[in-house]
Amino acid sequence: MKNLDEGKIIDIKSFLDYKEGEITNLELANNDGLKLIMMAFDKETGLKPHAAPCDTLLLALEGKAKILVGDNEFIISEGEEIVLIMGIIHNVTSQGKFKMLLILEKEN
């Protein structure tokens, strides 16, 4: 895994800073079966609706965001998770500053 030291306790949220008015991201791992991406959303920034390329687990690391999955809207907060199924349209809109970790299960 990129940017990770074995045998050390880490604060993964500190790996990625906020940029004013932007969404930043950091790829932590990318191999045949798994991809880990951390994203930091500045106040009221968001992703346009799109479909997940594979099944994905979204973990909220900090703050809150509105998540639209298909026709269902959710508010996710730090410490909560939501599953995004491959092919289902979704989007993410931060409610203030928001950090998340995406765990993508890639098909072999």
pLDDT tens-digit map of 7-64: 888 888 999 999 999 999 999 989 888 999 999 999 989 999 999 889 999 999 999 9
**What was the pLDDT predicted at 8?**
85
User: Domain map of the chain by residue range?
Assistant: 23-105
Q: Is 80 exceeded by the pLDDT of residue 102? A: yes
What is the spatial distance between Cα 73 and Cα 34, in angstroms, rounded to a whole number?
Answer: 27
> How are beta strands 81-84 and 34-41 bridged, if at all?
unpaired
Domain boundaries 23-105, corresponding CATH code: 2.60.120.10
Q: What mean pLDDT comes out for the span 72-91? A: 95
Q: What mean pLDDT comes out for the span 66-76? A: 96
Reading the block at residue 100, the tokens are 């998340």
HEC-encoded secondary structure of 39-82: EEECCCCECCCEECCCCEEEEEEEEEEEEEECCEEEEEECCCEE
Q: φ and ψ at 6, to 5 degrees?
A: -65, 140
